[in-house]
Copies of this chain bind each other. A is one copy, B any other.
Amino acid sequence: MNGNAEIVLEAIFQRRSVRNFTGGCVDPSVLVTLMKAAMAAPSARNRQPWAFIAITERNTMNTLANGLPYTKMLYKAGGAVIVCGDSTVDLQQGATDLWYQDAAAASQNILLAAHALGLGAVWSALYPYEDRSGLVSRILGLPSFITPFSIIPVGYPTGEDLPKDKFRSDRIHWEKW
């Protein structure tokens, strides 16, 4: 295994969900890098059926935090990315229902890229909860063809959130069940 492989694997293993942020702002250029990472994810038939809303405004983050039951960490986040599905992309190129798998891969890339940059992030589900996605759609003015999938608060970690070793050999089966 070469040194670069070890660095990438270590990032995958050390990444943790960060819910405790210092309150420092995240530069918009960093959010662009995270969305670039998201768009490097694979998608079914390479349709790329996604759209992203980047949030840096304190008021918007507070309004979202007020309304969303499990995303209170937005109060101290320095920014956020909302990963959405775009059903017009889907329809243009042959509708299937895999957009949410593509959005999940994009979300995971955001988490890893944030970790690599020394930031913390946490994936908070919006889809398939209609109350949560409806609230986000109203606050951000999303058109009806855009479905919010996840909201990812990003910020500078306080250091309270530690990586977990989740490896379980009993989850692995060889050749068949």
Contact = CB atoms under 8 A, between A and B. Distances in A.
Q: How many copies does the complex hold?
A: 2
Contacts of A28: 174
Of the candidates A12, A33, A37, the one having the most CB atoms from chain B within 10 angstroms of its own CB is A12
Given A41-B108, A175-B56, A166 B48 contact: yes
Contacts of A9: 33, 37, 113, 116-117
Contacts of A32: 172
A41 B167 CA distance: 10
Contact of A39 (B57, B100, B118, B168): B168
Interface string A92-125: 0000011011001101110111011110001101
14 contacts: A1-B117, A8-B11, A8-B113, A12-B40, A12-B112, A13-B37, A46-B164, A52-B173, A54-B172, A56-B175, A97-B128, A101-B104, A105-B105, A112-B112
